[in-house]
Amino acid sequence: MKAFLIDRYGKNTGRIGETPTPAVGAHDVLIEVHASSVNLLDSKIRKGEFKLIMPYSFPLVLGNDLAGVVVEVGSQVKRFKQGDEVYARPPEARIGTFAQLIAVNENAIALKPANTNMTQAASIPLVALTAWQVLVETAQLKKGQKVLIHAGSGGVGTLAIQLAKHLGAFVATTTSTANVEWVKALGADLVIDYTQQNFESVLHDYDVVLNSLGADVLVTSLKVLKSGGQLISISGPPSAQFAQEQGLSWPLKQVMRLLSLGIRCKARKQDVSYTFVFMRANGAQLQQITALIEAGIIKPVVDRSFTFESTGEALTYVEQGRAKGKVVVTIK
């Protein structure tokens, strides 16, 4: 089968090549991939930023989102059958959605929302699961609470704004001038144009901050939280708790502890908590997201799509940070 793969780590590596059809385990579903979306995670994996905690072997097929059709099921699979239209974020140890076929454990899969096409569905899993695991699972966001979602026009931001509004929160977000009205239309109650204002001068007494930006924004975000608030980051630094959940070695646990020591100490001084969330595959949560999409509560946001042959260009476009919503690669 054809796939977009890398033979080594590097910023501009990657090629379309032939690779064997994946083996289908007893609990696996073999999916013909119709579309996949591009995430910054793909770029970071390609550059080798996760090689210490996720030691992939080469050649490595990239890709962390998919929508497609089931073509084969393992002997123990009960919930899916040939012909089902599905979508998923595969488990991190078995990525590879930039390919014609992929085998995915059934626990990571959900039926595709009936009111989406393959392009729209492929844009959803990773960012929607990230938003869910930050806002619902970790923050346990409640009606009437206030949440700041950074980078509201990005892939995670566009879904997180919609989910937070559904949960009944007051939602503030940051974006550039060109996107202010656009993110308001997604449901944001207050939009900070970061080219004109400093968010920490405007926002106060927030319950939750979802950070997806750099270390400077992470530290500054502490200023907008009230006592007992939660600073949750999906861009790092990782923590010892994350290392524990990943089953990493003792030395790596200490490295992670030290990497997050500064922000954890600053947070503690202000009586707020710091949590690093690394999104994990979860078909059950994705099925709950499906229900919200089919009810019209959450709508996928697709910036543009690229052909399979242009996967490298799609990665470059996402790395520029200008996409409004998600970028999709059409494979079939």
pLDDT in tens, 286-321: 999 999 999 999 999 999 999 999 999 999 999 998
Amino acid at 124: I
| Same domain as 160, residue 61 | no
Strand partners, 104: 29
| Same domain as 82, residue 146 | no
The predicted model gives 53-66 an average pLDDT of: 94
What are the structure tokens assigned to 244, written together? 């524990």
- Tell me what pLDDT residue 283 has: 98
Kindly state whether residue 281 falls inside one of the protein's structural domains: no
Look up the CATH number of the domain holding residue 113.
3.90.180.10
- Tell me what pLDDT residue 239 has: 86
pLDDT in tens, 101-127: 999 999 999 999 999 999 999 999 999
| Same domain as 64, residue 7 | yes
pLDDT in tens, 197-250: 999 999 999 999 999 999 999 999 999 999 999 999 999 898 888 888 888 888
Per the structure, the complete domain to which residue 187 belongs is given by 126-276
Positive or negative, the CA dihedral 68, 70, 74, 78 is: positive
Would you place residue 176 in the very low, low, confident or very high pLDDT band (cuts 50, 70, 90)? very high
Kindly state whether residue 207 falls inside one of the protein's structural domains: yes
Kindly state whether residue 139 falls inside one of the protein's structural domains: yes
Measured between alpha carbons, how far is 119 from 314 in angstroms, rounded to an integer?
14
- Tell me what pLDDT residue 244 has: 85
pTM exceeding 0.75:
yes
What are the structure tokens assigned to 174, written together? 């940051």
Phi, psi of 117 (to 5 degrees): -90, 180
Measured between alpha carbons, how far is 15 from 208 in angstroms, rounded to an integer?
41
| Same domain as 166, residue 152 | yes
DSSP letter assigned to residue 150: S
Look up the CATH number of the domain holding residue 166.
3.40.50.720
| Same domain as 118, residue 105 | yes
* Total domains in the fold of the chain: 2
Contacts of 282 (CB under 8 A, 6+ apart): 107, 108, 129, 133
3-class DSSP state for residue 157?
A: helix
Above pLDDT 90, what percent of the chain?
90
| Same domain as 319, residue 254 | no
What are the structure tokens assigned to 99, written together? 């390919």
| Same domain as 86, residue 212 | no
| Same domain as 157, residue 120 | no
Q: What is the dihedral of CA 62, 66, 68, 74, to 10 degrees?
A: 70
| Same domain as 141, residue 10 | no
What's the 3-state SS for 218-282? HHHHHHHEEEEEEEEECCCCCCHHHHHHHCCCHHHHHHHHHHCHHHHHHHHHCCCEEEECCCCCC
Would you place residue 181 in the very low, low, confident or very high pLDDT band (cuts 50, 70, 90)? very high
Kindly state whether residue 294 falls inside one of the protein's structural domains: no
